[in-house]
Chains A and B, each alone.
Chain A
Amino acid sequence: NAGVTQTPKFQVLKTGQSMTLQCAQDMNHNSMYWYRQDPGMGLRLIYYSASEGTTDKGEVPNGYNVSRLNKREFSLRLESAAPSQTSVYFCASRPLTSGRADEQFFGPGTRLTVL
């Protein structure tokens, strides 16, 4: 199993450009998440998808959109990139086990710089 994969690993954008970050998991997990990580801020939730066909906003959704394409794939789109979106982006997935909260499985991250 590859686990959680993310593409690309690195990306440099100019202000105003758009791009889509791709995430896929092969563990048959129900829930998927997008986080951003900034120095001293820990991980902040951008959007999540509790199950296929649903998406919800997290703590910092402004400037982002998501698509849960199918059970495996969850993409994050920046429509008009801004320097404040320079960050490391992590995708995570989690199984849905009734009655408890299983841990999340994380991808390796995408390092995005917006000039």
Chain B
Amino acid sequence: DAGITQSPRYKITETGRQVTLMCHQTWSHSYMFWYRQDLGHGLRLIYYSAAADITDKGEVPDGYVVSRSKTENFPLTLESATRSQTSVYFCASTGGDQETQYFGPGTRLLVL
């Protein structure tokens, strides 16, 4: 199906483990984004990518790593998960800076 998908939808992990959240879009959009959503903070940008092999930090990048070897994929890795990274993670994409962003369904991550 066309659109933007995220996997897994739900994940429980333990402190110190590495976790990778996947994001895939079928529109060939240039830009892709990772946000986290926490109560009281709204959505905050973690990392974004303007094209394959081009990534940049957002507002809250510490503890996260991204890569973009292919235009359609933008995985987010928590190298050593901490409890403060318990959150809902949203991936988004857009074809250009004049266009709306389209969001995936989110991944709910619980770090114990």
* Same complex: no
